[in-house]
Structures are given as C-alpha cells and as structure tokens.
Chain A
Amino acid sequence: MPFDLPISESLKRARWKVKIREKESREPPHVTILRGALAWRIDLRTGEFMDRIPDPADVPVELLTQIHKADSWKQLQQEWDCKYPANPIDDRESPEVK
C-alpha cells in the first residue's frame, strides 16, 4: 500500500494528500502531493519541486512545512528506501570513471 503522510485535518478536508505510491522505482526518489486532478512531486534528495507545472506556489505553505518537518522528512526518506531499495535516496554510485 502507498505511504500516506499524516497531515492536519484542515488540509485533509481541503483534499490534500501526500503519498509515496508503488511503481515509481524508475523515477528519482520523490514524494507526490495530490489534490484532485493535480499532482506535485518533491525530490526526496534535494527537497525541491521537480516540475514547473503545476505551479509549486499553489501548494499551501502549511503543507510544505508539515512535509519538511524533520521527522516527517526522515520518515518519507525511509519509506522510499523501503519501497525502492534498488533506487535509494543515498545514491553513492561512483560519480564517473575517467
């Protein structure tokens, strides 16, 4: 089952969801913010939005604060690594072979 980050009741009522779903092993580690037919991806390595569209500014600051809270962020990273061990957050592959 997907990992659903617990968020405040007010954000839930406003139909916001924060998930790590299955079948995303082929993408960079990320968490998906969903609301209706829109989705925003946040890179779990850098903490930055991965896409220009939809506009990241449309995500409420309150939700971003909850996602980036130290324990939430750590939990999200752990959940990703658990779900996708072949595509971990800490990608220590030798940078390049000269």
Chain B
Amino acid sequence: MPTVKPLPVTVSTTFLLGNSKSLSRSLTPLHPTLVGSTAATILQSLSQATKDTLWISYDPNSTEKLLRALSWPAKSLGNAMLFHAMSPQTLPALQHCFGKYAYAMREESLPPDELVEALLSDHRADLFIGGIVDQSSKTITLWRGHLGSLTVPFSAFETSGDGIAPDFGRFSVTDSGQTVRLGTYEAATDAILYEFDPDYRRRIAQQRQITDQSFGASLRRLRKQRGKRREDFAPISAKTIARIEQGAEYTHHKTTLHTIATILGVAPDEIATY
C-alpha cells in the first residue's frame, strides 16, 4: 500500500482537554495526557505544545478555555480534533492556532475506541472520523484520519434498488471509519473516496486486482459503474462504444471522447483512471 504521511501523533504529545477519565481510558492507545480545566494545567500543556501535538476535545468549555489562555499572536499548537458544537466565529482562531483541525459533533464522529483504531491505521487517510452535514448547501464534509477533508453532495447518496434512502438528518460514521451512516442507509467509505478523490482512485487502482488496464477496459468499468448501456451514448453508436471497449478502435476523436465523458459525468482524461 502506498505510504500515507503519518499523522503527527507521538505518545508524548496527545492532549485530551477536560477531566474525563473514561474518555482518557478509551483513548489509551494514543497515550493522552488529561489537561484538566484549571488555568495552571492548561498553561502547562500550552507550554509543552509543538507543531506535532494532537489536541482532542469533547468539551466545548475546555476548548474555549484553551483558546482564551493563549498569548496572541499564538504559536502553532499542533493539530486538533474537536468533537463538540463549534461556533463559526471560532473557526478563524482555530485556523490560526492549529496546523490542521477537524470538528464535528460527538454523535457525528467515530466512538473513541474506533477513533483510536482509525488514527493508528496505516491507511488513516482513507477512513472518515466524522463529518458535518450542511442542509443549506446540501453537502456533507467528511473528515479523514489525517485531518484532510472531503466535501460531497447529497446527490452522491442515491437510493438503492431495495428502496433504502439516505436520511441526512441522521448522520454518523461507523466501522472504524469505513462506513458513513445516514439513518438506515450505509455508504461505503471507499466508494465515496473512489468517486470524489481522483488521487485515491489512482492509488487504489494499483492495488486492486484489475488485470486489464487498457483505455477500453477503463471505459467499460466506468460505464458499468454508471449503470449505462452502450446504447446510451447517442449520437455515438453502440457499435462504436463496443469497438472502443474492445480496443478495436484506438483513435478516439476529441468530440467522441468529450461526448462519452459528458454522459459519464467525468473529464475526458479521467476515463482512463477507472
């Protein structure tokens, strides 16, 4: 598997904000230090923070106390995962203090034991640790284990043939980050990444047992994935599509490629990545 840049977490630099011993126990494999809630303990933690420190908080009051305790202009505190409600006005301050940060409601993020499993995985970038549903833009922003994000539209979650439809009011992540749950609807993380992250798609294609890497084979895979028949590419004939797929037609006119790509909903140069 291609190397994923490690999340900068070391055993000595994970700070858990607040006083929850049970949370601390759940996060034990990350060796968190409980910061506590007094000004003295917060200041002590701040003095030890480096750019590789990971801050985890499930408590909005503790996060507020941390931000208030900073001396501005603040040095970089490392990275943060904040699993509680967050005021939009706080986001610029977070951006200033943390190299990377993710925030989500606790119930919209992985349970602590699964969070640990995801963060310690060598493919953490391909796991979702939480997310935010925005009903106004009809998008979901998903946080990945390396604290990158991916925003996908509601339309990505089509109703399945057995009538199971996504309920965007009931979002959570499960299976240690491998599944996005929308009510009773469960979407596979790898299917989401495959559709919306071209880098993931290229990377995963190398490790999957795809024997035929030709353009024709890629086109056939993508066409099948999109649920299209060869007859669906008018004005291009089904016969031409078949010939391209079997490699019998190597020279593809620019207009032909553009038409195929438009119908499949991708850029022409993306077809070969499938």
Measured between beta carbons, the chain A residues less than 8 angstroms from B50 are none
A50 at interface, CB cutoff 8 A: yes
In the complex, what distance in Å separates the CA atom of A49 from the CA atom of B166? Answer: 29
Give chain B interface residues in 208-247, CB to chain A under 8 Å.
208-209, 224-227, 229-230, 238-239, 242-243, 245-246
B70 at interface, CB cutoff 8 A: no
A39 partner, pick from B161, B190, B195, B243, beta carbons under 8 A: B190
A21 partner, pick from B177, B188, B224, B226, beta carbons under 8 A: B188
Give chain B interface residues in 103-136, CB to chain A under 8 Å.
117-118, 121, 123-124, 127
Known: A21-B186, A22-B157. A36 touches B117 (CB 8 A): yes
CB-defined A-B contacts under 8 Å, sample of 26: A1-B164, A1-B184, A2-B179, A22-B160, A23-B156, A23-B158, A23-B187, A23-B192, A25-B160, A26-B191, A26-B224, A26-B227, A37-B124, A37-B176, A51-B208, A51-B209, A52-B208, A81-B161, A83-B160, A84-B160, A86-B227, A87-B227, A91-B224, A93-B230, A96-B242, A97-B230
Q: List 18 extra interface pairs beyond A21-B187, A26-B225, A53-B1, CB under 8 A.
A: A1-B184, A22-B164, A23-B191, A24-B191, A25-B158, A26-B226, A26-B227, A27-B191, A36-B176, A49-B209, A50-B208, A53-B207, A82-B161, A84-B160, A85-B161, A87-B225, A94-B242, A96-B245
